[in-house]
Amino acid sequence: MSTENDVKFTDFPLLETIHQSIRQAGFERPTPIQAACIPPALEGKDVIGLAQTGTGKTAAFAIPIIQRMSGRSELGALVLAPTRELAAQITTMFNQLGKDAGIRVATIVGGVPISEDHAALSSWPNVLVATPGRLIDHIENGKISFAEIEVLTVDEADRMHDMGFVPQIRRILSALPRKRQTMMFTATLPDDVERIARKSMHHPVRVQIGQCAPAHRAQQELFELAEDAKAPLLLKLLGKSSGRVLVFVRTKRGVDRLARKINARRIRAGRIHGDLEQVHRDKALSDFRHGRRLILVATDIAARGLDISNIEHVINYDFPHHAEDYVHRIGRTARVDASGLATSFVTRDDRRFVNQVRKLIGENLPNPTRLDSYSAKPTHSAHRSKRR
């Protein structure tokens, strides 16, 4: 991601307290998605932002919402996020940039006792960040009044779609006032999502930042190998690694199995997937974030949108079956002002998925290096030395 453009935050007519918080956050210049989204959003226009995580998209919608909600007493803005972790990160951004401007943000997510929601709602929030499932529970039992909602933001709409949240989104839309500003952020625009956008938005301004191109500073490498050669190669890579490594596995059981294998080698790895209790997910995330564990094994959904800086290395242990997931996974490394390496393991059966990724991101994707099929030792040994 780059922040190289001529736009400055001071070009935006924001409250001085917001400018101050932006400075305190260390944001010197708006990122391209912020430069493009903030002006129309401040004018109250609907916005479709095509951008993946790592582009600064959260602040792109948070800043205009903070300006509009500043000092307001009733609930006026709703932000929907696909996962609890992303909801937590969005909440952090609102607190970071909006607290001094009088933003009171509440977070409503599944996996925590409902009494916590009631406590959060009793603080008279003016901004609510929620995952769809839990929000629907509150709509059904009439616990939240949406009458004054003026701004709706749907973040990572494509992921909401992949996770089967489209009916919930429709249900939530039907509970909101029709007259409102709607913003939608998504890395890709599947037909279903585009249909919802068309139905629920009014002449949206469409802003597209490097659609589908993985963070371009990430160096990518692909190894074609047999399924049973994957674990030995992974352990070898982990043994040599010194920075933070995020390992993607396709299934929850696969995450458990691989984390066990890694830990058996006395390399300490955390794991994160949707079946784990929230406290364990939070712990794994915080251990990884703070460097107590340098390896995190995760499924796509659990890792989606995680904003952890300085991930040196992303490893696609299982090659993703959806090309967009490749883009999202690679987006974990080479975030703002960082560079990184993305390694993918490709089996014979994965070839068609590699071709799909190539269709999506073009020649950016290198050809797989073939490793000696059934040997645990890669024949190609230059993969680490390439960048060191």
Size of the site for ligand AMP (CB under 6 A): 16
| One residue of 15, 114, 267, 336 binding ligand AMP per CB under 6 A | 336
Least Å from the CB of residue 1 to ligand AMP: 7
Least Å from the CB of residue 183 to ligand AMP: 13
Please say which residue, 12 or 27, places its beta carbon nearer to ligand AMP: 27
Phi, psi of 100 (to 5 degrees): -70, -20
Which contacts qualify for 122-126: CB closer than 8 Å, 24 or more apart?
124/73, 124/74, 125/75, 126/69, 126/72, 126/73, 126/74, 126/75, 126/76, 126/77, 126/102
Least Å from the CB of residue 356 to ligand AMP: 24
| One residue of 46, 85, 307, 312 binding ligand AMP per CB under 6 A | 307
Least Å from the CB of residue 26 to ligand AMP: 7
| The CA-based dihedral angle spanning residues 45, 48, 49, 52, taken in that order and rounded to the nearest 10 degrees | 150
Please say which residue, 84 or 252, places its beta carbon nearer to ligand AMP: 84
Query: d(Cα 345, Cα 222) in Å, to the nearest integer?
Result: 6
Position 333 contacts ligand AMP (CB under 6 A) = no
Please say which residue, 15 or 173, places its beta carbon nearer to ligand AMP: 15
Least Å from the CB of residue 61 to ligand AMP: 9
3-state secondary structure labels for all residues of 330-374: HCCCCCCCCCEEEEEEECHHHHHHHHHHHHHHHHHCCCCEECCCC
Name residues contacting ligand AMP, limited to 54-73 (CB under 6 A).
Answer: 54-59
Name residues contacting ligand AMP, limited to 26-55 (CB under 6 A).
Answer: 27, 29-31, 34, 53-55
Q: Which amino acid is at 103?
A: I
Among the residue ranges 10-18, 25-33, 251-259, 268-276, the one whose residues contact ligand AMP (CB under 6 A): 25-33
Position 270 contacts ligand AMP (CB under 6 A) = no
CA proximity to 126, closest of 90, 72, 176, 180: 72
Least Å from the CB of residue 56 to ligand AMP: 3
Least Å from the CB of residue 156 to ligand AMP: 10
Instruction: Give the residue carrying structure tokens 């037909």.
Output: 191
Query: d(Cα 98, Cα 84) in Å, to the nearest integer?
Result: 20
Among the residue ranges 24-32, 220-228, 320-328, 340-348, the one whose residues contact ligand AMP (CB under 6 A): 24-32
Position 331 contacts ligand AMP (CB under 6 A) = no
Q: Which amino acid is at 132?
A: P
Question: Where do contacts with ligand AMP occur on this chain (CB under 6 A)?
Answer: 3, 27, 29-31, 34, 53-59, 307, 335-336
